[in-house]
Structure 1
Amino acid sequence: MSNAQWLQIDATTYSIDGLLDRDTVPILWPTLSQWSPSEQSVEVSLEQIKRVDSAGMVMLIHLIEHAKKQNCHIMLSFVPKQLSTLFQLSNVDELIAGHVKNK
């Protein structure tokens, strides 16, 4: 198992690396729920995600809501096809559309 990691690249860019699934989300979420963004807009790169499931998708939605409450807009970049499919199957693709950076 490869735990997911939350990495800060610079002031406005973050990355989630590894597996983002039901096994790793409970380990990662306590860190993310305490995150206090200092910028009004940040990019979260998902380029290094190896695998994502519905638990990972829900965690990302919660992360977006957590940031909104702190007046920060998150843009997800390099969204894996697997995650895009989950967004569509879960009927949240319209909700998340303003948070996905097109390639």
Structure 2
Amino acid sequence: MPSGDQKRARADIQRLDTRSYGVSGPMTFDTVTELWRQSEHMFEDNTVLEIDLAQVTRTDSAGLSLLVEWMRGASRQSGRVEFLNLPDQMLALARVSNVEHLLAGKRSEQLS
């Protein structure tokens, strides 16, 4: 894929219900700033937040960092985040980066 197409890649967060959101598109250096902006309101009214990653098409270390930041954001509000359908690429990055323990309990069956 040409780099121009990658720059136009769009990531989006959609509300699925009162405490669930879905992420679609790439979670990469090119998109995480926009995803963070879209997500800032998610932590306001939720003690338990579910984020479904089934529609994530590509990820890199910036995407993994965003997951960690979402966990921190929820913690600041005395809440927690549960990630659903973590992409294999995200799990592999977590293992290589030695941060898979941060995702433990989020989808532990995927981490074993």
TM-score over 0.5 for the alignment?
yes
Aligned position for 1:49: 56
Q: CA deviation at 1:101?
A: 5.8
Deviations 1:3-58 (A, max 9, x none): 11111100121111111100011222123234334222121000000001100100
Distance (Å, rounded) in 1 between the aligned partners of 2:20 and 2:108: 13
Contact 2:47–2:78, Cα closer than 8 Å, also in 1: yes
Q: Which amino acid in structure 1 is aligned with residue 89 of structure 2?
A: Q
Number of aligned positions between the proteins: 103
| 60, 66, 72: which one aligns with 1:65 | 72
Contact 1:76–1:101, Cα closer than 8 Å, also in 2: no
- Aligned identity (percent) is 28
Aligned CA RMSD, in angstroms, stands at 1.6
Structure 2: which 5+ residue stretches go unaligned?
Answer: 1-7
Richer in helix (by share): 2
Deviations 1:42-99 (A, max 9, x none): 2100000000110010011101110111122111010010000000001000122122
Aligned position for 1:98: 105
Structure 1: which 5+ residue stretches go unaligned?
Answer: none
Distance (Å, rounded) in 2 between the aligned partners of 1:17 and 1:98: 22
Contact 2:68–2:102, Cα closer than 8 Å, also in 1: no
Contact 2:54–2:84, Cα closer than 8 Å, also in 1: yes
Matches within 5 A, 1:68-79: 68-79=75-86
3-state SS in 2 of match to 1:98: coil
3-state SS in 2 of match to 1:99: coil
Contact 2:29–2:60, Cα closer than 8 Å, also in 1: yes
Q: TM-score, normalised by structure 2?
A: 0.83
Q: TM-score, normalised by structure 1?
A: 0.89
